Amino acid sequence: MAIGIIGAMEEEITYFLEALGEYKSYTFADRTFYQGELSNHDVVVALSGIGKVNAAVTTTLLLTHFDITHVFNTGSAGGADKELNVGDIILATECFYHDVDVRAFGYEHGQVPQMPVTFENDSQLLSLATQALENSHLAFVAGTVATGDSFIAKLEQIEVIKQAFPKTAAVEMEACSVAQVCYQFDIPFLVIRSISDIAGIESHISFKDYLDQAAKNATLMLKETLQLL
């Protein structure tokens, strides 16, 4: 049995691979998986690539090729809350798709047909991550994470999302796809992201400058959470 860790970009998994030290690598359908030990747990780290389909494919491969008990989605996110700062941690209480709209057929905005409106993150993992963060120096919030196949760089984009989904705390491009696959496989999951930019405030510049910091913070907090698991 092992714990799955999924990041979209090489920068988002680099510090995990360094922490693993020795590991075995496997490739399935052009996706690479790294198996080793972290915080006294067997883990499999996966590089998904960016976007919803890449995340869903990678999560499915992870759960079908390895005996995974829990899944963490980690990396960076854009802040959609004015109270957030670059480097802060966002723990997802729930995830949803901000770019799905099938209301013409009676579904709610953001709801994929035959799926829940939102995907609730595992309460036990959320509690452990909260405990780890309360013992750290990092600022954090627990809130709703919005997923879509767009990098949200403009203020008007975030305003549209917030108008439709007022609870949105952060935006990114993979989390809800990971959550949906885990939901369908009945695997507990948690999204732990670090804020790399504030949506609408020079997001593309901030993202490049602070991605490394965000990756470090997310890695640190996931390691601390695993120690409590």
Is residue 187 predicted with pLDDT exceeding 90? yes
pLDDT at 137: 87
What local confidence, expressed as pLDDT, does residue 200 receive? 64
Q: What is the pLDDT of residue 196?
A: 83
Rounded CA separation 73/6 (Å): 5
Q: What's the whole-model pTM score? A: 0.93
Q: What confidence score (pLDDT) does residue 212 get? A: 80
CB 20 within 8 A of CB 36: yes
Of 98-102, 116-120, 214-218, 221-225, least confident by mean pLDDT is 214-218
Residues with a catalytic annotation lie at: 12, 197
CATH classification of the domain holding 167: 3.40.50.1580
Give the pLDDT of residue 218: 83
Q: Is 152 assigned a ligand-binding role in the annotation?
A: yes
pLDDT of 197 reads: 81
Q: Identify which has the larger pLDDT, 83 or 18.
A: 18
Q: What is the mean pLDDT of the chain?
A: 92
Contact 87, 213 (CB under 8 A): yes
More confident residue, 158 or 169: 169
Asked if the model's pLDDT at residue 81 lies above 60, the reply is yes
Residue 58: pLDDT over 70: yes
Q: What is the DSSP string of 16-83?
A: HHHHH-S-EEEEETTEEEEEEEETTEEEEEEE--SSHHHHHHHHHHHHHHS-EEEEEEEEEEEE-STT
Query: 12 is in which domain, residue-wise?
Result: 2-228
Share of the chain above pLDDT 90, in %: 73
- Mean per-residue pLDDT, 167-179: 97
Residue 173 assigned as binding residue: yes
Confidence check: pLDDT of 216 > 90:
no
Q: What is the mean pLDDT of residues 95-109?
A: 97
Provide the domain count of the chain.
1
Q: Is the pLDDT of residue 204 over 90?
A: no
